[in-house]
Structure 1
Amino acid sequence: MFDRHGAAAALGSLVLVGSSMVWAPHVQAHGPVHQESVLCTGSSTSTYEPPLTLLPRQTRVQTRASYACAVAPGRTVPATGYLEGKSPAASCVTVNSPRVGEVVHYADGKQSSITYDSSTSIRIAGVLVVRLSGRVVEGRGEGLAAHRTVAALPGELPTSCLLSGLRGSSGEAQLEIRP
């Protein structure tokens, strides 16, 4: 039997594994494309200002991520990510951030600047699953599609939605940069 964090970890792992099955290096009939596809997995922590309540309202979302990124066959580097954006109508039920940016700093000195222009979110058994889609606008993977999926648990009890609001969440994240 799982406790609350065990269930969230299991659900998050399932979401991340399922979405990673579609990721594979891009190959054409004439050989590999020399674009930098990247697959990152790790942890993600978000804060909400003002805190999330049951009533939707504009909310500033800041997220810090710690990744392990496969940047080439057999080559993985640590990386950190920082996201910031506004959700026009965030609540304890959904966090929808149609315009958000992420900067990923890789341990090998490179970086990726990503602009996400669409998002979907759903809450399943207390776990918030958010998928962001966009493009790398500068740096490693420039011009490639970027998809970020996170399965997160609130930092407080769900009853906080009725009182002071949820101030943050944390969970497992996956970032895919590919053609």
Structure 2
Amino acid sequence: MKKAVIVLASALCLIAAAIGALFVWEHQSKLSLEAQVEDFLDACGTDATAIDVHGRPYILYAMADSADLTYVDLRLQAGTNKDQLLVHRLSLGHADRLSRFVTFDHPDGDVDPIERADGSFTEAAMINGSTVTFSADTAGDRLQLFADGHRAGQIELDQDVTVKGAAVTDSGVVVELEYASPDCDAAG
């Protein structure tokens, strides 16, 4: 009986050690992927305030030297409350695609975003009882936000981007950007 208890305890210890090692390996893999993204951003001259690598299990992505999707918070510029770069499928220092979502502060007043029937946000909002439509455009090295054709905000850009659209949400006016190139000359 005593031998059976010792064998069972030994087996449980080995299983616990294997599970612990797996958790450590998963954590180290995540750190490795974050370092890969950080190296990419450093080479691009991008100032990140936070990096959040997605895609589990991290072990498999780290073994392939590939980060599937990474959310990178960028330094905020005046008039914004969120600026996030999405790095899609980074592998061996090359990303498949870079997109960016810049959230401008709501204009002054009572802002009520107008939603579609499916609950998604549109480019319009009721502001102090009037419908206002937002749009965005790039001019040189700037992203400009417009409210009914009047400039409502702007930020500086470092690289060539295309405006994919704007939407008024509960947290602000979000402008989606797509970088012309997914390489280091495209991050900002």
- What TM-score comes out, normalization by structure 1 length? 0.32
Tell which structure's C-alpha radius of gyration is larger: 2
Normalized per residue, the structure richer in strand is 1
TM-score (norm 2): 0.31
Structure scoring higher RCO (CA < 8 A, sep ≥ 6) equals 1
